[in-house]
Structure 1
Amino acid sequence: MPRPSQRDRIVDAYVDHVVSEGPETVTLDAVAARAGVSKGGLLYHFGSKEALLAGMLERVRALTDADIATARAGAAAGTESVAHYYLRTSAADPERDSDVFRAMVAVLKVAATEEAAAATARASMSAWLEVLVEETGDELTADLIAALGDGIYLRAIAGERSTPLTRDWPATLARLGVPVPATAPVTAPSEQSR
């Protein structure tokens, strides 16, 4: 795997700082130090904190698109429905999380004070809802799956690793009337994360 570019390392450092220290403590100096670059190196890529935020939001949009593509590929292969993928990957273990999970946690933390972050979070949720509607053919069922996944996701952020919902994905989806391929994983709440 190729080494991340300096720009990517800076965005990663920004995400890590927001997740671990909170958005109110972000300074260009702190992000540069965390990324292992000079402040001048950071400013070459991101001329301000606003530009750094824009870089993170761009990353979230790209990660969301890639995550949806992965879900669609699994559905096309018949291994896992999009709904199953959405719910399963919502149950992330914050200690072993993915880039998508960390970036979304950072966006949700920043969304309280930055409308651009809130808009990006809403756009990500809307993109998932659209794919779920496409799969289920029913807006209400899709919205129920999205809301359930969002609740599971928030529980994961808070550190709740397992619930009756996450122990048996086929049973959970059956309650919603969503068919599950025979090859779909039954459990694995911390294997991957949305």
Structure 2
Amino acid sequence: MPRPSQRDRILDAYTDLVVTSGPETVTLDAVAAAAGVSKGGLLYHFGSKEALLDGLLDRATELNAADLATARAAPEGVARYYLRTSVTDPAGDSAVFRALVALLKLAATEPRAAAATRRCFAVWREAMAEELGDPLTADIVAVVGDGMYLRAIVGDTSEGLTGDLEEVLRRARPR
């Protein structure tokens, strides 16, 4: 596997610091140190803290789109994939999980992060509505998945739900 670019290492460091320390504590100096680059190297790729945020927003959106493409291609379907990965992504500490957690942490104080998070959620609901044939059912499945995601973050595997995703989907579908 090729070594990540300096730009990717900087975004990784920024994401990790936002997730582990909170956005209010993140400085350009801290990001540069965590990425193993000089502050000048960081500023070469991201001329300001705003540009660094833009990079994270773009990355999170790209990772979300790639994850949705994977779900669309999966034999299990988008809704089942969404529910399953709501537990496995946090447990596996995937890139998309870390990026979305960073967005969620930033969303409390950064309107652009909140808007990006809403867009990420919306594309999943739209895809599930296409698959399930009903926007309300898609929203219900999304909310269940989001709850499973939050539980997984704190170590709760939602075994009752994950043990029978087909039953969860059956109960969510309109009659």
TM bracket, shorter-chain basis: over 0.9
**Equivalent residue letter for 2:9:** R
Which stretch has the larger CA shift, 152-161 or 47-56? Answer: 152-161
Which residue of structure 2 aligns with residue 182 of structure 1? none
Please state if 1:30 is matched with 2:34: no
Q: What's the Cα RMSD here?
A: 1.4
| C-alpha separation in 1, matches of 2:35 and 2:140 | 39
Q: Is the 8 A contact 1:93 1:161 kept in 2?
A: no
Length-normalised TM-score, structure 2: 0.94
Q: Which residue is equivalent to 1:85?
A: 81
1:33 deviates by 0.8
Q: Secondary structure at the match of 2:88?
A: coil
Q: How many equivalent residue pairs?
A: 174
Looking at both structures, which has the greater relative contact order when contacts are Cα pairs under 8 Å and sequence separation is at least 6? 1
Q: Distance in 2 between matches of 1:65 and 1:94?
A: 18
- Structure with a larger share of its residues in helix: 2
Aligned-pair CA distance for 1:96 = 2.7
The answer on whether the counterparts of 2:17 and 2:23 sit within 8 Å (CA) in structure 1 is yes
Where in structure 2 are there 5+ consecutive unaligned residues?
Answer: none
* TM-score under structure 1 length normalisation: 0.85
Structure 1 partner of 2:8: 8
Residues 46 and 98 (structure 1), Cα distance of their counterparts in 2 relative to 1, 3 Å cut = same
Aligned to 1:21: 21
Structure 1 residue ranges without an equivalent (≥5) = 179-194
Contact 2:28–2:39 (CA under 8 A) maintained in structure 1: yes
Percent identity between matched residues is 65
Among 142, 147, 164, the alignment partner of 2:143 is: 147
How do 1:60-139 residues align onto structure 2 when only pairs under 5 Å count? 60-74=60-74, 79-92=75-88, 94=90, 96-139=92-135
Moved over 6 A (4+): none
